[in-house]
Structure 1
Amino acid sequence: MQLSRLVYTLVGSLLVPCLMAYLWLRGRRATAYRDHWLERFWGPAALAGSRAFDSAGPVLWLHAVSVGETQAAVPLLRAWLDAKGAQARVVMTHTTPTGRQTGASLCEDFLAGPDPRLVQCYLPYDLPWANRRFLKWTGAQLGLLMETELWPNLLAQAKQAGLTMVLINARLSARSARQMHRFAWLARPALAQLDLICAQTQDDARRFQRVGYKGQLVVTGSLKFDLSIDESKSALGRQWRWGWSFAQVWLVVSSRDDEEQDLFAAWQRAAAARRLPENTLLIVVPRHPERFDRVFQLASQLGLQVARRSVSQALTVETQVWVGDSLGEMAAYVAASDLALMGGSLKPLGGQNPIEVCAQGRPVFMGPHMFNFHQIARLLKEKGAGVGVGSYDAFVEQASQLAADGQRLALAREQASAFVIEHRGATQRTLQALLGLGSSRV
Structure 2
Amino acid sequence: MAKVKTTSRLRGRSANSLWIGVYNSILLLCLPLIALILLKKWLRKPGYKKHFLQRLGVYDCKRLPACIHLHGVSVGECAAIAKLIPELRKQHPHLPIVFTCTTVAGSNYIERNWGEQVIHTYLPLDFQLMVGAFLAHFNPVLTMSVEMEWWPNLIRQSRNQGSRVMLVNARMTDRSKNRYANMLGLFTFMVSKVHKILPQSELSYQAFRELGVPPEKLMLCGNIKYDWPELKHADPTQKPSQLTWIAGSTHDTEEIAVVAAHKQLLQQNPAAQLIIAPRHPERFDDVWRLLQASGLSCQRYSHAPTLTANTQVYLLDTMGKLFAFYRDAHVAFIGGSLVKLGGHNPAEAIVQGAAVVMGSSRRNCEDICAPLSQVGALVEGNEPQQIAREVIGFWQNNATTAQQIQAGQAVIAKHNGALHKTTLQVLYQLKQAQRPVHSTRLHPMVIR
Same fold (TM over 0.5): yes
Q: Could you tell me how far 1:390 is from its partner in structure 2? A: 3.8
1:52 is matched with: 64
- What is the one-letter code of the residue matched to 1:398? E
2:162 is matched with: 162
Structure 2: distance between partners of 1:27 and 1:325: 22
1:68 is matched with: 76
Q: Could you tell me how far 1:410 is from its partner in structure 2? A: 2.1
- Range with bigger deviation, 187-196 or 156-165: 187-196
Q: Could you tell me how far 1:17 is from its partner in structure 2? A: 4.7
- What is the one-letter code of the residue matched to 2:22? V
* 8 Å contact kept, 1:156–1:190: yes
Q: Could you tell me how far 1:300 is from its partner in structure 2? A: 2.7
- What is the one-letter code of the residue matched to 1:436? Y
SS at match of 2:277: strand
SS at match of 2:172: coil
Structure 1: distance between partners of 2:228 and 2:121: 23
1:439 is matched with: 432
Structure 1: distance between partners of 2:271 and 2:43: 37
Q: Could you tell me how far 1:137 is from its partner in structure 2? A: 1.6
Alpha-carbon spacing, 1:337–1:421, altered in 2? closer, same or farther (3 Å): same
Q: TM-score, normalised by structure 1?
A: 0.86
String of CA shifts for 1:251-274, please: whole Å, max 9, x gaps: 111110222222323333454xx3
Structure 2: distance between partners of 1:21 and 1:304: 40
* 8 Å contact kept, 1:201–1:219: yes
SS at match of 2:120: strand
2:377 is matched with: 385
Structure 2: distance between partners of 1:205 and 1:382: 22
Matched, 1:319 2:311: yes
String of CA shifts for 1:376-399, please: whole Å, max 9, x gaps: 111212233222334332121011
2:205 is matched with: 205
- Range with bigger deviation, 297-306 or 376-385: 297-306
Structure 2: distance between partners of 1:143 and 1:11: 25
- What is the one-letter code of the residue matched to 1:181? A
Identify which of structures 1 and 2 has the higher relative contact order when contacts are C-alpha pairs closer than 8 Å and 6+ apart: 2
* 8 Å contact kept, 2:163–2:433: no
Matched, 1:25 2:34: no
- Range with bigger deviation, 222-231 or 122-131: 222-231
Structure 2: distance between partners of 1:35 and 1:180: 34
1:349 is matched with: 341
Gap runs ≥5 in structure 2: 1-15, 438-448
SS at match of 1:219: coil
SS at match of 2:89: helix
Structure 1: distance between partners of 2:229 and 2:315: 24
Q: 1:306 aligns with which of 293, 298, 312?
A: 298
- What is the one-letter code of the residue matched to 1:219? L
* 8 Å contact kept, 2:224–2:415: no
* 8 Å contact kept, 1:362–1:412: no
Structure 2: distance between partners of 1:432 and 1:27: 40
Structure 2: distance between partners of 1:75 and 1:316: 34
Q: Could you tell me how far 1:139 is from its partner in structure 2? A: 1.8
1:262 is matched with: 257
Q: Could you tell me how far 1:206 is from its partner in structure 2? A: 0.8
Structure 1: distance between partners of 2:149 and 2:362: 19
* 8 Å contact kept, 1:147–1:169: yes
Alpha-carbon spacing, 1:156–1:315, altered in 2? closer, same or farther (3 Å): closer
* 8 Å contact kept, 1:258–1:295: no
SS at match of 2:218: strand
% identical aligned pairs: 28
Structure 1: distance between partners of 2:385 and 2:182: 37
1:113 is matched with: none
Q: Could you tell me how far 1:29 is from its partner in structure 2? A: 5.2
Q: Could you tell me how far 1:279 is from its partner in structure 2? A: 0.9
Q: Could you tell me how far 1:419 is from its partner in structure 2? A: 3.2
SS at match of 2:64: coil
- Range with bigger deviation, 352-361 or 261-270: 261-270
Q: Could you tell me how far 1:62 is from its partner in structure 2? A: 0.8
Alpha-carbon spacing, 1:383–1:88, altered in 2? closer, same or farther (3 Å): farther
Alpha-carbon spacing, 1:59–1:82, altered in 2? closer, same or farther (3 Å): same
SS at match of 1:213: coil
Matched, 1:122 2:117: no
